[in-house]
Structure 1
Amino acid sequence: MPPVKKIVMWLLVIFLLYAILTSPNSAADIFNSVWDIITNGVKNIARFFDALLRG
């Protein structure tokens, strides 16, 4: 991993920890929203391939 990527990764981790520690309710709401987006995306991809295979 190049040094720039490592630095950006650490900054992201530090920011996430800061966000969670300073406002845990907002961080939980954001996490729930992101989780809903991911699960809906996976469900929609599964529906697409199911419809594609049914012909």
Structure 2
Amino acid sequence: MPGKAKTILMWVVIVFLLYAVVQSPDRAADIVQAIWDVILGAFQSFGQFVQSLMK
């Protein structure tokens, strides 16, 4: 992907995210919380896997 197209795409995504947060901050917070829960769950599962390997 050419550099200029990549930059334009990045700005479009940033503007869309800002618009989404301004229009519905509660919904945006719910989405961020859900993503955080998924990431946290993945790290916890990985930790349990490594711990089971060490036993």
TM exceeds 0.5? yes
Q: Match of 2:54?
A: 53
For 1:36, the equivalent position in structure 2 comes to 37
What is the alpha-carbon root mean square deviation over aligned residues? 1.4
Match of 2:23 in 1: 22
Aligned length: 54
> What percent of counterpart residues are identical?
37
Q: List gaps (5 residues or longer) in structure 2.
A: none
Post-superposition shift, 1:2?
2.2
Identify the residue that residue 6 of structure 2 maps to in structure 1: 5
In 2, distance between residues paired with 1:53 and 1:3? 48
**1:52 Cα offset (Å):** 1.1
5+ residue gaps, structure 1? none
